[in-house]
Structures are given as C-alpha cells and as structure tokens.
C-alpha cells in the first residue's frame, strides 16, 4: 500500500514537472530612465526653409547609455479622443525630418542636446504631426525563460506651415452638461470642438455661468482649455470645464477617488439653488482677428436634501409657534370666560 502511494506520488511529480515551463530566475537589470524637454515640440515652419530645433535628452540611469532616435506616426480617435501611437514611420515627414546624431551615447545623469532638423520641402502641406522616439540603441535581447521589457519615450511634434492659404477654423460640435440637475457643485461641462480648418489651433474662451441667457453680469466665469490643448485638423477634442464655486461642494478625496461633500462655511454665499445657463464662447484667431463660436445650455442645481432639511425645520418651528399661540389663546379665552362667569 505504502509503495503504491509512493509510486502514485512519483508519477504525479513527473507529470507536474512535464507540464511546467522552467523559467530561471534572473537578476533585475537597471531599467531605462530618460527625461526629455521640450515635450511636445510645437513649431511653425516655412516651405522650402530648413529649421533646426533642439531636443534635450537626459540619461537618468546609473550607467552610460547609447540611445537611438526614431519617428512614429500617430492618429487621434475622434470618438474617444484617444491618441493612437502607431508602429509605422510617418511617411509624409520621414524624408525631411532628420537628427544630427541618430545614435548617441550619454553618461549617467548627463544631458545631451539632439538637433532635430526639419528640411521643409517647398510644397509642404499645412500641418504635420508625428512622434519622435528615444530608445536604447541596443535593447536587451530576448532570451529564453524571461520577458524582456523595453522602454521608450515619445515626444509629439506638431508643425504648422506658414502658408497664406492656411485656414484656421473651429466649430463647437456639442456643449453638454454631464447632468441636467445637480444636487451640489461641481457642475461639469463638456465642450466638443472640431478643428475644421487645415492648421493646428489652440482654442480658448470662457464659459459664463448666468441666471439667464442674456444676463449682463455672469455669476461665475470658467476657463475653456485652460491647459492650452492643441487640436489637430479634422480632429474633434473634448474639453472639460467644471463649475466648482459652490456651497457645499463635492471634492475628490485621496482614497480610491471617492467624492466627499465639503462644507466650507466661508463659502456660504456660494449656495447655489435654481436654474442656471452656461454660455460658452470659444475664440480662435483666424490669423487676423478673434472669431467667436458660441453655444449654451441650461441646468439646475437643487440641493434637495438641504432644502428638505430646512423645510422640516421650518415646519417644526411653525408647528411650535402655532401650538404656542393656540395654547396662549386657549388660556386667554378660558380666563375671559372665567372673568365673565364671575
């Protein structure tokens, strides 16, 4: 019986080992650590004119590294707004975007200045957008039993060509409030802006929070595109603005991204109740003047729990007052009756 158990155990062990993939343990390499500036690269170029831009690259690793430069195409998903980096080179620029030193070495902790050369063709188009990559010239080779991880940094390059026929044009595709009714602020607004021109633009503007559409003085003014985001031609980008100046307000907490209601009594004057209009005015410059685009939405702020609480308190107070008055009157009437009887 004992021998049988040992035999079964032996067979099971062999079976287990045969189904296992032996991957030897490996000491950790020192990784990849790079800092780049500027990121992104935003430049104006002229047709037929060469332009050189400096890209600073710092090797933050603990040993000397040899890096190589590369180019990649990217696209933007109009529905999700997601930037999709591609494996391919950007074919429209690969022939005229070069690097002074395509492969270079940098000592640990040192900066290297790479010269990015744009030999702009005479028949250059309106805009070019692509990514410049910095990666190890000699990446870790694949070897059995381990997964190799290679790091790389991409720097977006957005080039606008100075052409007299360049058209700067923006349209507001949609302007929505995340909710129609808010209990407390913040109220969140999503402004979808489409670049319907042929050059890269950086829109700006304000969202005016008002009681009515034609109010002369807004209650609050929000910034549109406060981070200075760029919109590529034929791309729609969603910009979010939040109206936060309220009392009380929900704020993010550090734990698990949950929102917590904050009662800052010094903001009591910012108690928001009722109907509001958000009027967005986005402005872009067509090269000569500001061109505004306008959209508006209405929404409500109804702090129903707070109002309910106040109503209950008011009801209790009124009930108490009425009860006291009734009691007083009853006593007075009784006294009057007693006096009359006497």
Enumerate residues 304-333 that contact another protein by CB under 8 A: none
Give the Cα separation of 342 and 327 in Å (integer): 22
> For another protein, which residue of 2, 4, 20, 256 counts as binding (CB under 8 A)?
20
Q: Which is nearer to another protein, 107 or 294 (CB)?
A: 294
Q: Which is nearer to another protein, 195 or 249 (CB)?
A: 195
By CB under 8 A, tell whether 59 contacts another protein.
no
Residue for token pair 């494996």: 87
Compute the least distance from the CB of residue 316 to another protein, in Å: 42
Query: Strand, helix or coil at 198?
Result: coil
By CB under 8 A, tell whether 63 contacts another protein.
no
Phi then psi dihedrals of residue 112, to 5 deg = -130, 135
Contact segment (CB under 8 A) with another protein among 136-144, 178-186, 190-198, 300-308 equals 136-144
Contact segment (CB under 8 A) with another protein among 156-164, 172-180, 182-190, 264-272 equals 156-164
By CB under 8 A, tell whether 165 contacts another protein.
no
Residue 71 parent element (H or E): strand 65-72
Tell me the site size for another protein, rule CB under 8 A.
92
Contact segment (CB under 8 A) with another protein among 105-113, 152-160, 177-185, 187-195 equals 152-160
> For another protein, which residue of 59, 114, 160, 249 counts as binding (CB under 8 A)?
160
Residue for token pair 């009691």: 327
CB-based contact 119:47 (threshold 8 Å):
no
By CB under 8 A, tell whether 90 contacts another protein.
no
Count of CB atoms situated within 10 Å of the CB of 102: 12
Compute the least distance from the CB of residue 125 to another protein, in Å: 15
CB-based contact 281:205 (threshold 8 Å):
yes
* DSSP-derived secondary structure letter, 109: T
> For another protein, which residue of 4, 5, 79, 87 counts as binding (CB under 8 A)?
87
By CB under 8 A, tell whether 164 contacts another protein.
no
By CB under 8 A, tell whether 188 contacts another protein.
no
Residue 18 parent element (H or E): helix 2-18
Query: Strand, helix or coil at 335?
Result: helix
Compute the least distance from the CB of residue 108 to another protein, in Å: 13
By CB under 8 A, tell whether 93 contacts another protein.
no
Residues 6+ apart with CB under 8 A from 45: 51, 118, 120, 124, 128, 159, 160, 161, 162
By CB under 8 A, tell whether 196 contacts another protein.
no
> For another protein, which residue of 78, 98, 173, 215 counts as binding (CB under 8 A)?
215
Phi then psi dihedrals of residue 55, to 5 deg = -120, 120
> For another protein, which residue of 99, 112, 126, 156 counts as binding (CB under 8 A)?
156
Compute the least distance from the CB of residue 167 to another protein, in Å: 12
Q: Which is nearer to another protein, 41 or 191 (CB)?
A: 41
Residue for token pair 């395509």: 102
- HSE-up of 112 (CA within 13 Å, CB side)? 26
Instruction: Residue 60: name the closest of 95, 20, 33 by CA.
Output: 33
Query: Strand, helix or coil at 231?
Result: strand
Q: Which is nearer to another protein, 193 or 303 (CB)?
A: 193
**Alpha carbon of residue 1 to chain centroid:** 68
By CB under 8 A, tell whether 200 contacts another protein.
yes
Q: Which of residues 223-282 bind another protein (CB under 8 A)?
A: 223, 227-230, 252, 257, 279, 281
> For another protein, which residue of 7, 11, 30, 310 counts as binding (CB under 8 A)?
30
Give the Cα separation of 315 and 317 in Å (integer): 5
């Amino acid at each position: 019986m004992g021998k049988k158990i040992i035999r079964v155990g032996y067979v099971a062990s062999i079976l287990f080992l045969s189904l296992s993939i032996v991957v030897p343990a490996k000491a950790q390499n020192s990784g990849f650590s790079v800092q780049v500036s500027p990121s992104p690269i935003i430049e104006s170029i002229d047709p037929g004119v060469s332009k050189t831009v400096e890209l600073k690259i710092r090797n933050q690793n603990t040993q000397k590294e040899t890096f190589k430069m590369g180019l990649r195409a990217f696209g933007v998903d109009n529905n999700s707004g997601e930037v999709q980096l591609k494996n391919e080179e950007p074919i429209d620029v690969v022939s005229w975007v070069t690097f002074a030193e395509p492969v270079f070495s940098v000592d640990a902790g040192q900066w290297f200045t790479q010269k990015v050369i744009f030999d702009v063709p005479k028949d250059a188009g309106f805009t070019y957008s692509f990514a410049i990559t910095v990666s190890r010239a000699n990446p870790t080779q694949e070897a059995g039993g381990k997964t190799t991880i290679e790091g790389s940094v991409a720097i977006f390059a957005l080039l606008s060509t100075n052409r007299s026929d360049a058209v700067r044009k923006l349209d507001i595709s949609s302007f929505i409030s995340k909710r129609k009714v808010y209990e407390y602020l913040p109220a969140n607004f999503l402004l979808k802006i489409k670049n319907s021109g042929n050059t890269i633009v950086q829109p700006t503007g304000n969202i005016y929070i008002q009681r009515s559409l034609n109010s002369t003085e807004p209650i609050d003014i929000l910034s549109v595109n406060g981070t200075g985001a760029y919109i590529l031609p034929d791309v729609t980008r969603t910009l979010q603005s939040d109206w936060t100046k309220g009392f009380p307000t929900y704020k993010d907490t550090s734990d698990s991204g949950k929102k917590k209601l904050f009662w800052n009594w010094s903001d009591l004057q910012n108690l928001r109740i009722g109907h509001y209009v958000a009027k967005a005015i986005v402005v872009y410059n067509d090269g000569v003047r500001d061109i505004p685009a306008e959209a508006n939405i209405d929404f409500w702020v109804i702090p129903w729990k707070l109002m309910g609480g106040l109503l209950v308190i008011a009801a209790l107070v009124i009930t108490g007052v009425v009860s006291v008055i009734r009691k007083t009157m009853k006593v007075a009437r009784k006294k009057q009756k007693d006096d009359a009887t006497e």
